[in-house]
């Protein structure tokens, strides 16, 4: 299991062709090496919180 720090979070309220169900959240995640990742979620996270990737 990998652990990432939530560096940014945005609540997306506009649908697009591949993401018709809104709202959803997109997370800007940072790993221990400061590498950044993007992840879609339906749960709201706060900045500074940790996201666990199973």
Partner 1 sequence: MEIGYVRGIGRTKFGILDENLQEMMYVAVSKALKDASLEPNNIDMIFIANFVSGILQNQLHLGSILNNVLNFTGKPIIRVESACASGGSAFYQALIALNKFRNILVVGVEKMSNIETNLTTKALASADDNTLYLKEGLVFPATFAFIAQQHMLKYGTTTEDLALVSYKNHKNAKLNPLAHFNYKDVTIEMIQSSATVCSPLRLFDCSPISDGAAAVIISKGKNSNRDIAVVGSSLCTDYCSLTQRENLTSFNSAKKAASEAYRQANIKPDDLDLIEVHDCFTITELIALEDLNICKPGESKDLVRSGYTDIGGTIPVNTDGGLKADGHPVGATGIAQIYEVITQLREEAGERQISGAEIALTHNIGGVGGTTAINIFRR
Residues engaged in binding partner 1 (CB under 8 A)? 7-20, 24, 26, 28, 35-40, 47
Radius of gyration of the chain (CA): 12
Between residues 3 and 15, which has the closer beta carbon with respect to partner 1?
Answer: 15
Between residues 17 and 43, which has the closer beta carbon with respect to partner 1?
Answer: 17
Neighbours of 29 (CB within 10 A): 21
Structure tokens at 30: 């940072």
Between residues 1 and 18, which has the closer beta carbon with respect to partner 1?
Answer: 18
Give CA–CA dist 14/29, Å, rounded.
22
Cβ 1 to partner 1 shortest distance, Å? 19
């Amino acid at each position: 299991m990998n652990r990432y720090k939530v560096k940014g979070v945005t609540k997306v309220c506009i649908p697009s062709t591949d993401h018709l169900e809104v709202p959803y959240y997109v997370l800007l995640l940072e790993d221990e090496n400061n590498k950044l990742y993007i992840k879609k979620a339906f749960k709201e996270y706060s900045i500074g919180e940790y996201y666990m990737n199973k």
